[in-house]
Structure formats: structure tokens, C-alpha cells
Amino acid sequence: MKALVTGADGFIGSHLVERLVRAGHQVRAMVLYDARGGEGWLEAIEPGVRNSIEVVAGDVRDADCAEAALAGCDTVLHLAALIGIPYSYRAPASYVDVNVTGSLNLLNAARRHGVRRFVQTSTSEVYGTARFVPITEAHPLAAQSPYAASKIGADQMALSYQAAFDVPVVVARPFNTYGPRQSARAVIPTVVAQIAAGPAILILAICVDFFLCKEPGF
């Protein structure tokens, strides 16, 4: 397939791009433009794989960028998002702009180009505090932060395009993803690092944002 991966410069996105290339797919990786021309975590991919990736800089908030990035692709793997729960309390409009409007721009482009699959990457945060475990898709949506609300909005927009316009949408909701290239401030890297250092007692105080705001492992 010819896949567009948005948010390809991030932790999960860079691994997804790498996996797709190794599986023999054509990949266009959309990264957020910065002044130094950086490519985020794509720069950590070995050159033999990196050289097979078509990298385009842009911003999902710009409809023209979304349209141009998607042209010629038959699959969209949409990971681009403004993340981080604590900041969403300070700048909620920014989260709506990136997460909801950005997703809408890509959905409109996907509809026009007739893609065969649109994967909307969501988050476990849409469920809020668990009312029962294990959480299933029948669990009520319960946003407890502007970030979570924006992700619910993006998911519902994607599902509405499936219902109204037959855009072939799949919503994926990762729970505490972890691995190489992840921020060390996430809870699982924090625990692993302390275990590796051999302390008698684990100290999780530096993960206060996680416990107060349920920061996902993005």
C-alpha cells in the first residue's frame, strides 16, 4: 500500500513508519515543520530504512497541507495530535484546533481521494476513570481534560464520516504504549529506569502528572 502517516516524527509514529517500510510498503511521512528542518524521531531510524521514506513537512491544521500530503495515498494512518494533558488545561483551544480541525482536514481529503482505509489514532483517555475493568468499547466516553475531549471530538468526527460519507474508518485506542524513543517522564520508563538502577523502593513522585491527570504513554 501507499500509506500516509501523520505525526510520523513522534514516538509511535516513527516506529509505525519503520515497521511499514520493513514490510515492503510505500510510506509518506508527514512531520510538523520546524525552522531547523528536523524530522523528529525519524532521524533515529537506520539510514537503510530512512532513505526509503518520503518525508513531507506540514501541519494538519492547514487544509492545503493535508490535501497535498494525502494525494496519491490509499491509506491514512493519522497519529498527528497535540498531546500532554496538563498543557490542555492552559490552552484548550489549541487542542481543538490540532486534534479536531486537523482530523477534519484529513477526513475531507480522504473522502475526496477515496482512500481504502483511514485509521484514527485515539487514546485510552477518552474513557476517563474506569467504571469497570477490563475496559471494553462499551465503556462510556467520559472526558476529564480538554485533551481527552478533543480526542473524543476527533474520533466522533471520523466515525461520522464513515456513517455519512462511507469513508472507511477504524479508530484505534492505545493504552500506555511504551518502548524506545518514548519520553522518560512517562510512568513505565520511570519504573523501568529505577528497577534497572536497583533501588530498594520505587519513587513515583516525578510522575505526579500521570496520577493526577492520567497522562497516557504517548
Please tell me whether the peptide bond between 189 and the residue prior to it is cis, using omega within 30 degrees of 0.
Answer: no
CB atoms within 10 A of CB 51: 9
How far is the C-alpha of 55 from the C-alpha of 163, rounded, in Å? Answer: 32
Of 95, 127, 147, 161, the active-site residue reads 147
Helix (H, G, I), strand (E, B), or coil: what is residue 94? helix
Radius of gyration over alpha carbons of the chain, in Å? 18
CB atoms within 10 A of CB 73: 22
CB 29 within 8 Å of CB 7: no
Establish whether 147 is a catalytic residue.
yes
Report which of 109, 133, 134, 106 is spatially closest to residue 121, judged by C-alpha positions.
Answer: 106
CB 143 within 8 Å of CB 152: yes
Provide the Cα torsion 44, 49, 51, 54; round to 10°: -90
Strand partners, 55: 29
Residues in the chain: 218
Catalytic residue ranges: 147
